[in-house]
Structure 1
């Protein structure tokens, strides 16, 4: 049997949850192909961020520079590259279905922007959110029917894709949580109850809800809390807006921190806050759950699907800071009665591990 070649494309996955997905995929694939007659070529923005001995890398640093380069790679360069490599499988991990010559093609769709209509204010703070809402449906649609399968992360997206693009080959593939062996902790003032929100300075991350909730709390509670948020001034226009509007002593604007530090915060924190208005998954929810930590999370379908079966979680409306404030107060005073959550799709077909994905795309 001839050696099989797989191309994994993740050229625009450079930070946040999408980079974690790419890194976890390559980490698991590197182990999966050990002692197998499989050749893997990964197309990434910066190969120096990876160290997987069984995988060959091609760096395409211009892919994140602007959309013109991205479109060039997806619809012109990758076509030439596929003819040169002649792969058995092309797996695009970042939404787009490129023009390639390959019998088995797969795309992993994880950008939810086409489902979220931003307000005028959000569009002014983050122009590309408005642009994505207008154009992402078109971008998704290009070549989508040429894929063997379309992978999405949740059932609500599967149902939407089937209707929107007239598809019958959509498979739900939950991101597999790969818990890193991090035993370190972050020193946190033990006179405070520490909340943690690992996030980016994106407008739909809804960080202002935290600021408004804090302003509703009485002084005796505010004096006991610290909310650690991973943004800082000059990150983005939205981050600047948040830092300027909520210069509160209760909020610690950490800026971008390493994965090791994120996991150390999970170890040390009292509770995860996750007020995001839109996610295709919400990886910090899965990660915090892996540490058996309490969570206060948006009352939205994506969040409930991500939380799954879990007791120490309560939900709040994304436009109701009073609900979040009440939950924070109850957590601080140790009077909280968690609502808990049950996963609603126990009997539905889905793929739940990277190993299962790899077996699927190869067979």
Structure 2
């Protein structure tokens, strides 16, 4: 019997949690179909976050309390844990770091894109931890990374970045698009641009790298410089979450065309997607950009930050325009054009050609990592 260990002690929410759930759900079914051949152990924050059959769980909250705990756990404690478990065939780290463990094969899933984030002084005031992470991400990735048999990335641009930063051979970086963000096959009709009120939405968590301020500044330009009132922009923060969103609300909360609607449950968010004419997505650091995939299914207009991840995630969309994520005047200009019915700037986005190795779903990935010929 071969032992597989999935380590994910730092994963508790958002996109990484969706990845953990997808991984363990698929692995549970995969080993269930091969009864008696594999033992799976998941090291997680809490079992209830992703509880599936055919999996043993080790729960620990201590590493999540502070970064020094996390680093100690990854590079000291897990080595002892791996020895206690015994003969481990595959150790799969799901959250960027490559822990010091004893295992025949090792794999790390990298999805923290902050290495490409150009932090600014206001980041230090609003989110100092994130600013530090942006500075240190590549150094957090580096320890033990070459001891992995494979590195898993979500997109081709990320594979190229990992190759350039760490000189990892491209054939050892597997591109595995997250299965939970595949766009639905059913597409809905595009609303006519002759409607009186144009509606935009930006759905994101209340973190400063999400770049909400460019949306606020663009709305300010349209209202106060262009005297436009026939539009509405929804943003999924309420202005009370943290120092960053309080600053946003304090400066732009009185704009009539800007609605702070707060966090939305998935079904409610999908209703907003159906109603709105255009998605705005200006985030400066993403490994994928889930709302882009979700909104692409509706075949509507999208305004995206001109960054590598947006071009790849939006591949195949038909009505997309890009803007500099540091220039609100560019975003305002494109919004104004759409409000006035001018759509020439919105063009199809070519699909990125992804080189091998690629795993279209978790089952394909496990077949590759756990090949009986290895």
TM-score (norm 2): 0.85
* TM-score, length basis structure 1: 0.87
Kept after mapping to 2: 8 A contact 1:214/1:222 = no
- Give runs of aligned pairs for residues 342-361 of structure 1, distance below 5 A: 342-346=350-354, 349-361=357-369
- Decide whether aligned partners of structure 1 residues 211 and 161 sit closer, same or farther in structure 2, where only a CA change above 3 A counts: same
User: Which of 169, 174, 199 does residue 194 from structure 1 map onto?
Assistant: 199
Task: Check conservation: 2:82, 2:102, Cα contact below 8 A.
Answer: yes
Q: Give the stretch that moved more between structures: 242-251 or 213-222.
A: 213-222
Offset at 1:120?
Answer: 1.4
Q: SS where residue 217 of structure 2 aligns?
A: helix
Q: CA RMSD in A?
A: 2.6
Query: Corresponding residue for 1:186?
Result: none
1:170-189 to 2 correspondences below 5 Å = 170-178=173-181
Q: Contact conserved, 2:12 with 2:49, CA < 8 A, in 1?
A: no
Q: 1:255 to 1:27 in 2, by over 3 A?
A: farther
CA 1:53–1:347 in structure 2 vs 1: closer, same or farther (change >3 Å)? closer
Give the direction of change, closer, same or farther, for the CA distance of 1:346–1:148 in structure 2 (3 Å limit): closer
C-alpha separation in 1, matches of 2:223 and 2:256: 14
Q: Is residue 177–residue 286 contact of structure 1 (8 Å, CA) maintained in 2?
A: no
- The list of structure 1 runs, each at least 4 consecutive aligned residues, that deviate by more than 6 angstroms after superposition, is none
* Partner Cα distance (1:29, 1:153) in 2: 18
Q: Is the 8 A contact 1:16 1:199 kept in 2?
A: no
Q: What's 1:279 paired with?
A: 286
**2:242 matched to which residue of 1?**
236
Q: Alpha carbons of 1:228 and 1:72: their partners in 2 closer, same or farther (altered >3 Å)?
A: same
Q: Is the 8 A contact 2:155 2:177 kept in 1?
A: yes
| Cα distance in 2 between the residues matched to 1:287 and 1:114 | 25
Structure 1 residue 298, shift from structure 2 partner: 0.7
What are the Cα deviations for residues 32-62 of structure 1, in whole angstroms up to 9, with x where unaligned?
Answer: 3332233332222232233423433333223
Secondary structure at the counterpart of residue 168 of structure 2:
coil
**Shift of residue 300 of structure 1?**
1.3
Match of 1:15 in 2: 13
Contact 1:27 1:52 in 2 (8 A): yes
Q: Taking structure 1 as reference, are residues 5 and 348 closer, same or farther at Cα in structure 2, changes over 3 Å only?
A: closer
Look up the match of 1:315.
Answer: 322
Matched, 1:57 2:57: yes
Structure 2: distance between partners of 1:129 and 1:179 = 28
Shifted more, 32-41 versus 270-279: the winner is 32-41
Partner of 2:28: 30
Q: Report if the CA contact (8 A) 2:182-2:293 is conserved.
A: no
- Shift of the 330–159 alpha-carbon distance from structure 1 to 2, 3 Å rule, reads same
Q: Secondary structure at the match of 2:287?
A: coil
Aligned to 2:192: none
Question: 1: distance between equivalents of 2:22 and 2:228?
Answer: 38
What is the 5 A alignment of 1:114-263? 114-168=115-169, 169-178=172-181, 192-218=197-223, 223-247=229-253, 248-263=255-270
Contact 2:155/2:175 (<8 A) preserved: yes
Q: In 2 relative to 1, CA 27–264 (structure 1 residues): closer, same or farther, beyond 3 Å?
A: farther
Tell me the number of residue pairs that the alignment of Structure 1 and Structure 2 aligns.
354
Q: What is the CA-CA distance between 1:346 and the residue it aligns to? A: 4.8
Q: Tell me the CA shift for residue 194 of structure 1.
A: 3.3
Q: Note the C-alpha offset of 1:321.
A: 1.6
* Structure 1 residues 24 and 197: CA distance shift in structure 2, 3 A: farther
Query: What's the secondary structure of 1:217's corresponding residue?
Result: helix
